[in-house]
Amino acid sequence: MARTESTARAETHLIVLDPLLVNLADEGGAAYLRLSLVLRVTDTAAKKDSKAKVDKSDDAAIDAIRDTTLTVLGRQTSDSLLAPDGKERLKTELRRSMTQHNPNLKIADLFFTDFLVQR
């Protein structure tokens, strides 16, 4: 019997981070990045069975995601971000770092909703 699309699709939820402002690693320290980020993450089995309440562990996970994101962003330069493949490389690095620091975080998609580089 064929699986229907609705049963094959995992349950997900969105994590919306507050806008981030970070100095970039450009020489002279005058460049910065303003970024807004949304993660679509796959729910864990425990989360699927619980009610949709936000608890303290969610706050800790969001703080860890913000910390990891700020660390990765602080290593970037304006030239690398503005390169033709800069945003995609940044998404890959963010996803890898977030998963490395929180193996339980299953990122399905990562979206930039605001992206401004100032030199």
pLDDT at 9: 63
Q: Is the pLDDT of residue 110 over 70?
A: yes
**pTM value?**
0.80
pLDDT at 10: 73
- pLDDT tens, 50-85? 444 444 557 888 999 999 999 999 999 999 999 999
What HEC string does the chain produce? CCCCHHHHCCCEEEEECCCEEEECCCCCCCCEEEEEEEEEEECCHHHHHCCCCCCHHHHHHHHHHHHHHHHHHHCCCHHHHHCCCHHHHHHHHHHHHHHHHCCCCCEEEEEEEEEEEEC
Q: Is the pLDDT of residue 86 over 80?
A: yes
Structural domains of the chain, ranges and CATH numbers in brackets: 5-118 (3.30.479.30)
pLDDT at 61: 87
